[in-house]
Structure formats: structure tokens, C-alpha cells
A and B are shown apart, each in its own frame.
Chain A
Amino acid sequence: MDTLNNTLLKVENLHVVYKARRETVYAVNGVSFCLKKGETLGLVGETGAGKTTTAYAIMRVLPDRTARIVNGIIEFEGYNLLDVPENLMRHGIRGEKIAIIFQDPMSALNPIMKVGDQIAEALKFHNKEDLSPERIEEQVDRTLELVGIQKERKYDFPHQLSGGMKQRVVIAIALVCEPVLIIADEPTTALDVTIQAQVLAMIDELREKLGTAMILITHDLGIVAQMCDNVAIMYAGEIIEIGSVEDIYSGKMQHPYTAGLFGSLPDLEKKTDRLHPIEGLMPDPTDLPKGCKFNPRCPRCMDICRNVQPEFTVEGTHKVACHLYGSGKGRGIDE
């Protein structure tokens, strides 16, 4: 996308499969994207689109019994993370340079460990400045206050905290080592709407303060508009549209799937009787359709869509993988 030295993370042609006893689940099928320092990328898609799998692949915390990264490059600060030995990954990357905010704060915290200890743990194992235990405690206090929890609560166990506070603790765990990249995996789905806004505002503020890059995984296009610089729309393990927020929300091209996602959103300004959800279900990931993966559900499906996998059509920063665009197969979206 841009000059190399500014690029923090470059994922190229990533393929991940889950091998079950008899079948193979094709979870991520050739995902590529770039992330610059301090930038926020929104990863949007339905449940099962491969967003979380992509995130876990970057962290290399996929379940090692079933998941295989069959192909691809994950270049982080110039190194391919897929070639980095496990102990170096643990030592220098996970938690230290890349941290993840998990989606369910109820289960992401160890129920029998004090939350302060859970935050301190990350620091202890990445103690590059050789901090004394007292300094680590200070850092834990500071991080807790940063996410809006009184430092006295560090002696609490997770069951003594509310859902929103637990999520704040999960965020504190991710922030405590001041990583350069945060992967936020649906950080607010488990919270109710009022807390959602608070937590998101807090993440955004912290991110700006620390200059951290972020991959925000979500299925909420409203959140994306609020927080992201760039957006990638995922469907059935592929990125089908990628571009800046402006490109996605008001660009000339629009993938029919993206159009469907917007159609499923209530609009505050226009009065409509009903929403327009996308018909049908995500294809079975063990048996993906030929051609464009979206063709069985696409309202504008053509013959070519059933046979030929579409390539990206590029217009500036905006890329769309759809036969409607490029090489003159049926033009325009607003007819």
C-alpha cells in the first residue's frame, strides 16, 4: 500500500484450515491486507467469516491440534511471524508487541486468580527493563486507572467484577506491556449498549495516546465508521472488499455483500418499514461454492460468478472482488 518502512503488519495470501476427523474446514482462504503504524483496520463480516481465525493466526494461538496455516506470509516489523520459532514468539511477540482483547470477558479471565495478578503476569514474563516487583505493581495500578478501575480492585477476583469491568481488565491485560499492535476481537459484543460506547471510546482514546495500531474485529458497521481508518469486509474466509472508511461507505463501487450488510442496518434518517437482511446462510466452510463464494446468496449473480473466482478491481485505495466491476462485465450498482 505505502512505503515499506511505515508498514507494521503485512498479511499475504493467508490460508488456514481446521482439520476435523473426516472433513476440512476452509476457514481463511487467501487473506491479504496491510496495516501501517498507528492505523486502525476494521475487519467486518458475519459469524464464521474467518475474522477471529485470522486474528489468532497472527498471534499464532490457533488450537494446534486441529488448525493448520497452510499458506501465507504474516510480516510483522519485517519478520515473517510464521517462521519465528515458538519460544521467540512467546518471548518477544505475544503480549509484548502484539496483544489481543478477547471477545468474551466472562470466560477470558482466570476465575481463581486475582485480576491484578493476571495483569501483572504479562509484565513479569516480558520484563525487559528488569522492573522490581514493586514497580510492576505500580505499573498494574497505573494500567488499571488508565482503563477506569480503581487500583484497589486489583485484589478482586473476576467474579467480584461486573461485565464491563471485566472487559476493562481484559483491555488492561492487553495494554500493560504497551504493544505496538492490538487485535480487538469483538471487544464489546458481550456488553450492553451503554457500556459498549464507553469501552469503545476508551479503547480509541488509549490507542491514540499510546500510538498503537489496531485491528478491530466486529460485525457492527456503526463501530467501524466511528473508529477505523480502513475497512476489510470478509466473507467465507476471503476479503471481498477493502478500502478506506470513505471508500466503503460512499465509494463508487460496492460489493453486493457489503450492500447487503448496509441494507441490514436500520437508518435513522430514512423511514423504512422493514430492514433488508441478506437472504440465506453463509456457505458450509467444508464445501465452499465454486466461483464467487457469495454467488448463492447474491441478488445480482451472473453466470460467470458461478464459475470464475473474481479478482480485485482496484480504484485508488478501494478494492472490490466482484465481477460487476472491472473488465466491463455489467457496470454500475445503482440501476
Chain B
Amino acid sequence: MIKYIIRRLITLVPIIIGVTLVVFTILEMTPGDPAKMMLGDGATLEQFEAFNEKFGLDKPFVSRFFNYILQLFTRFDFGTSWLTSRPVLDTLKARVPITLIIAVSSIAFASTIGVSLGVISAVKQYSKLDYVSRLTAMVLAAVPVFWLGMMLAILFALKLGWLPSSGTGSWKHYILPMMTLGLPYSARILRSTRGYMLEAVRQDFVRTARSKGVPERYVIWKHAFLNACLPVINTIGVYMGGLLGGAVVTENVFGCNGLGSFIINSVKRKDIPAVTGGTVFLAMIFALILLAVDILYAFVDPRIKARYTAKGAK
């Protein structure tokens, strides 16, 4: 098992290099000379040259790319911001926790609501509760995040005054972003959980459990749900990626200074090292989450675990 985890960690290296290459190339192709954008039209030729030399822009693309990769893997250095002349990593360190809190709390929120309602919806298929939760889910999944965010802010912050509408001072500040980001995903998780559960409760082994005289509650949770869990975990893992993206919009709506708003602002100002650093860091987090999902899988399903350990033993 440990061997398997190590091997999976090693496969992250080419993934990170690939992501960096894509980000690097796309940003290279964006129009405009970085020095001119940073220093403005009034700067002298010497100032341009000094800027280019300072940030290595006088070197060719390939050499800059390899230099970046080298720095990343040897010193965990994400480059220096053109705007502030400070290491990008410092900014990331300050901002990533905010994004992670929002992302993790909303996925936890979304999973709790989505999975439990999904299971109930499946068990009581075609009941009133099933119709109501499916309808609500459909609406929530269709609503844009920024609109939902503003509506929630109007209701809870403006009208009721229960929660602050922007900033990151206390835990209360995180509730609205969490709900904004989590609700649409809870709807999606509900729908897929319901689907997988409906499949699971029709399996033969569920009937075996019933015929043994096992109480219905056990039949549903221990037999059907644990089996339906596998694809549900997978779905949630994939949604984590989209959720990190969704955090960008949510952070803007609620004025949280997270990774998302950092990347957006850096794009606006064409601070290429900051954009690259932020994106690559995001990709790393996502890859680690997918790895965690795979490992979780092995703990739920002994068949997968057997496959991993058999491979690892070689």
C-alpha cells in the first residue's frame, strides 16, 4: 500500500511538468510586451532592458521553462512577482489557506447534504420528499454561483444581518462562501448519490441481506450504501476540481483574499509569474486530492486494495 502511494506520488512529477508547460505556453502567447505593460510607455530603453534582465526575459522560452521547472523542483520556488518583486510563494502561503478553508468546508457541506438526501431520496423513490429534493437539486445545479452568492448575501447579511457579507476575519465570514459554493455541488452530489443508490438497492446481495432478517436500516447503510459509496467518492473527488475553480468566483463575490482572487487580479495586471505560480499550485492541490480519493477507494473496496498491494508487491 505504501509502495503504491509512493509510486503515485512519483507520477505527480510529469503531471506537474505538463501543467507548467501548458500554462507557460499559453501565457507566452498572450499579446503585449511584459516590460512595457509593467513599466508603462514612458520608461526608457535602459529601464526596459534592466527589467528584462532582472526577470530573465532576455532568454529564450525553452531555457526559461527549464529554469522554472528546475527551481520549482529543487527549491520549491514559484518565481518572483513582476509587480511586487516578492517571491510568489510568499503570497501563495498567505492566500492558499483561505481558498482551502472555503473549498474543503463547502465540499464537506455539499457531501453531507447531498449524500444523506440522495440516499433518502433513493430509498423513498417517488415519494414527496424525493420529488421535492430532486426539484430543488435541479434548480440549485442550474443557478450561477455569483447570483446565488449575491442572493444569499442579500438575505443573510443585508436583510437578516446574521452573517458578515465580506472579508475573512472570523469563522462567520466563511459561512456564506461555503453555502454559495457548496449548495450547487450538494445538488449534483444528491443526484448522483440517488442514482448509484437506486442501482445498489436492486443488487442481489441486498436481497440476501434482507432474507437473512437484517433490519432495513442496516440493509440500506451497511450493504447498499457502502457499495454505492465508491462511485460517490469518485464523483466528489472530481467535483473538488471544479470547486477549486468555483472558489475564484465566490472569493470575488465575498471579498475573500484567496488564491482565486489572486490569480484573477494577476491575470488582469499581466503578472505572469504570479499567474503561473497560482495555477501550478492549484493543479498540485487537485492532483493530491485525486490521489487521496484513490487511496480512500482502496479502504472502502477490498478488491481495489488487493489490486494495489498485488501490484506493489512486484
Contact = CB atoms under 8 A, between A and B. Distances in A.
A138 B284 CA distance: 50
Nearest to A63: B202
Contacts, number: 79
Contacts of A112: 226-227, 300-303
B214 A125 contact: yes
Given A102-B207, A107-B203, A108-B204, A95 B212 contact: yes
Contact of A102 (B125, B208, B216, B223): B208
Q: Is the interface of B mostly helix, strand, loop or mixed?
A: helix
Given A61-B207, A121-B214, A125-B215, 6 more contacts: A91-B213, A94-B212, A102-B204, A108-B208, A110-B209, A112-B226
B300 A93 contact: no
B91 to A, nearest CB: 44
Contact of B205 (A93, A99, A107, A159): A107
A93 B210 CA distance: 11
Interface in A95-125: 95-96, 99-100, 102, 104, 107-113, 118, 121-122, 125
Nearest to B206: A110
Main secondary structure of the interface of A (DSSP, over half): mixed
Interface residues of B, number: 25
Contacts of B207: 61, 102, 108
A321 interface: no
B303 A157 contact: yes
Contacts of A65: 125
By size class, the interface of chain A is 20 to 34
A287 B208 CA distance: 31
B143 interface: no
A157 B203 CA distance: 17
B215 A90 contact: yes
A59 interface: yes
22 contacts: A63-B202, A90-B213, A91-B213, A93-B213, A96-B213, A102-B208, A107-B203, A108-B207, A108-B208, A111-B303, A112-B227, A112-B300, A112-B301, A118-B208, A122-B213, A125-B212, A125-B213, A125-B214, A125-B218, A159-B302, A159-B303, A173-B208
Interface string B178-207: 000000000000000000000000111101
